[in-house]
Amino acid sequence: MKKLFLIVTAAAFSLGAVNAFAQETVATEEAAVVETVVAAQTQLADATPMHQVLMQKFLEGGWEWMLPVLLCLVLGLAIAIERMLYLSFSTINSKKFIAQVNDALKNGGIEAAKEVCRNKRGPIASIFYQGLDRYNQGLDSVEKAVVSYGSVQTGRMESGLSWIGLFIALSPMLGFMGTVVGMIAAFDAIQAAGDISPTLVAGGIKVALLTTLMGLIAAVILQLFYNYIVSKIDSLVNDMEDSSIILMDMLTEYKK
């Protein structure tokens, strides 16, 4: 199910990216300019849509190098979006939830508090439920359960981050590899012709520049998403730790 979600997310991102490119035209003409400038302005007025320009540059860069970089970007964004949605659904108003658990504990006991946790989503509610479920075994068992299950919840939140990190590192590496291949092709052309001509080396240099640019753009975009996800996880972990301390205080008071 998760893989299906990632595929759908990646497809939605690709369609959204294509539709986001608007057709840009420049229709300014000045009577005082020379004929060559007027011709250039006319050409800009009939400019090709942006997504077609990007597709052209994609093909000029060599699909065998640009496609892997694009796949890294799409897959990385798919995983990042899935993580962002997961963390968003895991975020709750912890103060309100703790107040509900405390009221249920005072009025209905452990079972009532467990029922509140059972009906609430998120890692904090899961940790509370595991701790309350071991109340009869003593507060030491509750504390161990809270700590252990807190680590489990943290691991679940960090799931997929290693893949995003892989795509961040892989994108510029593939771009640089395309750069090396493009430069080798340029030098091969020079060697075969026995002369240095701009037309001979232009193709290889273009491949080198385009693949590097694509790889860096993909890495920058994924890095922004990665840092946001990491900061969101840190915030949730801090909230989990604070809430766990409050749970232990509540159970200590309830035992008295």
Does 137 have pLDDT greater than 50? yes
Residue % of the chain over a pLDDT of 70: 68
Q: How confident is the model at residue 68 (pLDDT cuts 50, 70, 90)?
A: confident
Q: Average model confidence (pLDDT) for the chain?
A: 76
Long-range contacts of 98-102 (CB under 8 A, 24+ apart): 98/243, 98/246, 98/247, 98/250, 101/128, 101/247, 101/250, 102/250
Does 142 have pLDDT greater than 80? yes
CA distances from 233 to 164, 173, 228 (A): 15, 28, 9
The neighbour count for residue 240, using CB atoms within 10 Å, is: 23
What would the mean pLDDT of 34-56 be, rounded to a whole number? 48
What pLDDT is attached to residue 69?
87
Does 14 have pLDDT greater than 50? no
What would the mean pLDDT of 38-57 be, rounded to a whole number? 51
Higher-scoring residue by pLDDT: 131, 192: 131
Whole-angstrom distance, CA of residue 227 vs CA of residue 235 = 12
Higher-scoring residue by pLDDT: 203, 98: 98
105, 15, 61: which is closest to 214 by C-alpha?
A: 61
Q: How confident is the model at residue 253 (pLDDT cuts 50, 70, 90)?
A: confident
Q: How confident is the model at residue 15 (pLDDT cuts 50, 70, 90)?
A: very low
What would the mean pLDDT of 100-123 be, rounded to a whole number? 88
Whole-angstrom distance, CA of residue 235 vs CA of residue 128 = 18
What pLDDT is attached to residue 6?
45
Contact status, residue 127 vs residue 244, Cβ threshold 8 Å: yes
What pLDDT is attached to residue 66?
80
Q: How confident is the model at residue 56 (pLDDT cuts 50, 70, 90)?
A: low
